[in-house]
Amino acid sequence: MRFPSLFSPFTIGPYQLKHRVVMAPLTRMRAEKPSLAPRPLNVEYYAQRTTQGGLIIAEASPVAATAFGSPGVPGIYSEAQIKGWRDVVDAVHARGGVIFLQLWHVGRVSHSSFQPGGVLPVAPSAVPIPELKTATAAGKSTAYETPRALETSEIAGVVHAFRQAAANAKAAGFDGVEIHGANGYLVEQFLQSHTNLRTDQYGGSIENRARFLMEVTQAAIEVWGADRVGVRLSPYGVANGSGEPDPMPLYSHVIRALDPLGLAYLHFVEPRSSGAGRAEVNHQNVPSAMGLFRPMWSGVLISAGGFTGETADAAIAAGHADAIAFGRIFISNPDLPRRLREGLPLTPYNRATFYGGDVAGYTDYPAYGELEKA
């Protein structure tokens, strides 16, 4: 029997892909200001990382002006943003790539300085993020504020913002969308018991806490069809104050509820790399999300987090995942699929240039064999 490898072709939804090296969604904070639309620099960045028959999941994009928690991230709720993303998509398609957009609402992982009118950010419940610091829109370090709990009557409007963002992504020419249900942001805040203290139909039981995710996913399906919608989860993650005391009952329910929908894929953040980019994280003695939950998922499974070419290939050969998403090393190696295929050395990344800035640490990493740009 021949086992699949990182460079075996496979199918996601209606798309035939030539390899299983996926570019993970990566926040880089380099959108045009003040429109928060992608600009020519972003077009170049994504084009550099496109391979024929490869999948890119574009960076998390707020679904509304109220969904932000960081400066300089591109949105997907205005005409200017749709146009900017269309230029990115066109460049990826011209090189034979497939590109999905990750839809994002940060919930309590925000600050009033990012909110229209300076109001408090919203969340399922008025539970602040303990201990961690954030930055205001002006860049000043501060404690997280206590968010405002969403009224039951407001939740349909947030779901609609995801639906409209999915439609905007379609207008921009994307090939599909991914719901960001990981890393302590709004969807995961609804899922987890310590951030969801609600007593209405969106709180209490696991089924109720999962209701928001299911409604958001269904909204995207109404726009795209299920086979062009993915969902990202981080069952054992500890990012942005997240963490369920016993993840198995919650995430077993969620995955079994999503499985019959016929989604394009399920995307895990492996707990060994959890941390949502705040620092170098390599948690030890933690379970494997793909190992635990693969038996509950009958569709395509993408896993991300700390993989090397060798461990990615082994995970696919063992059937634990169908594709592997790479993040940090895709930043510094725009031709990562080729390097992994040919066993070429990898360029180390510079964490100091991950967020904000311009060309440096963004589009100036050369492909293998190229002279560094002046």
The tens digit of pLDDT for each residue in 143-159 reads 999 999 999 999 999 99
Dist. CA 48–CA 38, nearest whole Å: 15
Entry pTM: 0.95
pLDDT score, position 288: 86
Contacts 24+ apart (CB under 8 A), 207-213: 207/253, 209/250, 210/250, 210/253, 210/254, 210/257, 212/124, 212/155, 212/158, 212/159, 212/187, 213/179, 213/181, 213/187, 213/254
Dist. CA 224–CA 177, nearest whole Å: 8
Dist. CA 2–CA 336, nearest whole Å: 25
Mean per-residue pLDDT, 176-198: 98
The tens digit of pLDDT for each residue in 80-96 reads 999 999 999 999 999 99
pLDDT band, very low/low/confident/very high, at 185 (cuts 50, 70, 90):
very high
Which residues are known to be catalytic? 185
pLDDT score, position 2: 57
Distances (CA, A) of 120 to 106, 113, 177, 276: 13, 9, 28, 22
pLDDT score, position 278: 46
Domains of the chain (ranges, CATH numbers)? 10-353 (3.20.20.70)
Mean per-residue pLDDT, 258-268: 98
Of the ranges 104-108, 173-177, 268-272, which one carries the lowest mean pLDDT score?
268-272
